[in-house]
Amino acid sequence: MAIYSIDDLSRREILRMSAVLAASAASLSIASVASAATLPRTPGQILGPFYPLKELPRNADLTSVPGRSGRAAGQILNVMGRVLNVSGEPVRGATLEVWQANSYGRYTHPSDTNPAPLDPNFDGCAVLMTDLQGHYRFKTIKPAAYPAGANLIRPAHIHFQVSGRNDRLVTQMYFEGDPHNDKDPFLNSAARKELLTTQLRDPSSEFEPDSKVVTFDIVLYNG
Ligand SMILES: [Fe+2]
């Protein structure tokens, strides 16, 4: 049987308590890292010259124009996602303004000099609001790429201006595989351009069978 002096026991107890405290500190540290885990903020992009002049309609279906029976030309696209803050919390009641070119690459904006045709059944803009879980959703058509100067073709994209209670973000959503993505200076100005690029997916049964679906989550700082 080993015989320990009081000093030995004290030393052993101190060492044991130190180990316990160190383990506690480590787990506290892990917990604090976990609670501080941050989502990457969605990169900002330029507003661009074609922000709508008129009041944006509160209409989550951009594929038709009120008062007209026709349907917008092009690939029907369901765009959905959530607006979150960097802690992953939903931003409820955020306002999303969206605007885009039509399926020929033309905006319904008086300053767009692209000779591509207008689509009488497509205005290409709307204002939306997130629900309690931060979700938004709208139906539109896939925009086309368009020329923007002598040596630049902008890849297909949809513009967003998102306003929460504390933050406003202006950005653009792009499509994976667009042949003009690699040379676009605006998309490539983003440190993490994959955060702005969505993937076209086939629809689930709740959507029109010939439509496509993309998911674009938007992360504000505070929300
Ligand atoms: Fe644009």
> Is pTM beyond 0.95 here?
no
Across the chain, what does the average pLDDT equal?
90
Ligand 1 centroid distance, CA of 87 (Å): 30
Helix (H) or strand (E) holding 11: helix 6-35
The 10s digit of each residue's pLDDT in 28-64 is: 444 444 455 699 999 999 999 999 999 999 999 999 9
Q: In the chain, count H helices and then E strands.
A: 1, 11
Q: Which residues are catalytic?
A: 107, 146, 154, 157, 159
3 state DSSP class of 153: strand
Strand partners, 90: 84
CA distances in angstroms from 190 to 140, 171, 172, 186, listed in the order given? 25, 10, 11, 7
Residue (of 58, 30, 28) closest to 136 by Cα position: 58
Residue 65: closest CA among 121, 143, 26, 145: 121
Q: What is the pLDDT of residue 117?
A: 98
Report how far ligand 1's centroid is from the alpha carbon of 24 (Å): 53
Residue 206: CB atoms within 10 Å = 7
pLDDT at residue 150, rounded to an integer: 86
In angstroms, what is the span from residue 35 Cα to ligand 1's centroid? 37
What digits encode the pLDDT tens for the residues 133-189?
Answer: 999 999 999 999 999 988 999 999 999 999 999 999 999 999 999 999 999 999 999
The answer on pLDDT for 100 being more than 60 is yes
